[in-house]
Amino acid sequence: MSQVHVTLPPGVTIRDPSGNRYTIESLLGRGESGAVYLVRERRLQRMFVLKEVIDPSTQDRERVTFEGEVLKHLKHRALPRVYRIFEHEKLRRVYLLMDYVTGNNLEDLYRRQPAQRFAVSVAFTLLAPVVDALSYLHMQKPPIVHRDIKPANIIISASSGETVLVNFGIAKHYIPDATTALIRRGTPGYAAPEHYMGGTSPRTDIYGLGATFYTLLTGVVPPDVITRIMKNNKGSDPLKFAHQLNPLVPESLSEALRRAMAINAAERFATVKEFWWELTRQA
């Protein structure tokens, strides 16, 4: 089996250049070019998330190092802290060490609600910290685009009780327009057309944020954007207005969500702040 596809089993210890040792507790997830582990720091017995890029090329190694250094300097209450990035030459892997955020994610929580959706006021409260975090990311130079905004990537922290935006990945370099992209691709229903066609920007996150808000208010995941494009070319967009699925959603709010999820990025709100201002004005 190629080493690219080999993940490390529980019990293996990874040592960083400073001598800190991290024991793998479990595998949290894996992808084509890496994995995510829950690890325990041996000295302090503290839990962390360890992101791994397996057998990177020279270009990938430089890109991962650059983006890791960018993430290390981020400080926001709704974002997990990134502490260090290091390389294990023997294993041919690059690692990113960050906070382990415990708690329930919004996908699980909205499905547990009696109507499998949140009240408008509750959705606003839950997403307010995430909106602030996205604005913070987009104001970085170059802007940082998360590219995988969805309910499953928003956790209500067990320690703070507030929502935290998680799942920053490092998989594929993308800075043609001077933005730093931290996720290879998005999730169907929440991913904008740019995920498939290239040219992501902060407006890509606006699409994902709009789709997330839509799901929390309706209990329905929006149609995949490829399906939308195909049917829209025939004159019928399958994306229903939120108020059609939940009559408690004001029509004006529903229209703002629709604009945020416009197929054409230029038709969306220019910034997260502009989108949020319009939402709060219409609620």
Does residue 211 contact residue 258 with C-beta atoms inside 8 Å?
Answer: no
Average pLDDT over the chain, rounded to an integer: 89
Q: How far is CA 8 from CA 37, 43, 140, in A?
A: 9, 21, 34
Per-residue model confidence (pLDDT) at position 5: 59
CA proximity to 182, closest of 105, 98, 261: 98
Per-residue model confidence (pLDDT) at position 235: 85
Q: How far is CA 107 from CA 159, 212, 215, 250, in A?
A: 19, 9, 9, 23
Per-residue model confidence (pLDDT) at position 95: 94
Tokens of 117: 């959706």
Q: How far apart are CA 212 and CA 153, in angstroms?
A: 10
Asked whether residue 173 carries a pLDDT value surpassing 50, the answer given is: no
Q: What is the pLDDT of residues 201-254, one digit of tens each?
A: 999 999 999 999 999 999 999 999 999 999 988 889 999 999 999 999 999 999
Strand order in the sheet with 47-54: 13-15, 21-30, 34-41, 47-54, 93-99, 82-88
Q: How many domains is the chain built from?
A: 2
Place of tokens 């709060």: 280
Q: Cα(first)–Cα(last) distance of the chain, in Å? A: 55
Asked whether residue 261 carries a pLDDT value surpassing 50, the answer given is: yes
Please check whether residues 169 and 182 belong to one and the same domain: yes
Please check whether residues 68 and 160 belong to one and the same domain: no
CATH code at 238?
Answer: 1.10.510.10
CATH code at 13?
Answer: 3.30.200.20
Q: How far apart are CA 156 and CA 168, in angstroms?
A: 16
Percentage of the chain exceeding pLDDT 90: 70
Please check whether residues 110 and 146 belong to one and the same domain: yes
Asked whether residue 269 carries a pLDDT value surpassing 90, the answer given is: yes
Please check whether residues 88 and 222 belong to one and the same domain: no
Residue range of the domain that includes 255: 103-282
Q: 87 or 167: whose pLDDT is higher? A: 87
Does residue 83 contact residue 143 with C-beta atoms inside 8 Å?
Answer: no
Asked whether residue 3 carries a pLDDT value surpassing 70, the answer given is: no
Query: Averaged over 93-101, what is the pLDDT?
Result: 93
Please check whether residues 183 and 249 belong to one and the same domain: yes
pTM of the model: 0.89
Per-residue model confidence (pLDDT) at position 185: 59
Please check whether residues 49 and 118 belong to one and the same domain: no
Please check whether residues 153 and 39 belong to one and the same domain: no
Please check whether residues 95 and 129 belong to one and the same domain: no
Please check whether residues 198 and 107 belong to one and the same domain: yes
Asked whether residue 94 carries a pLDDT value surpassing 80, the answer given is: yes
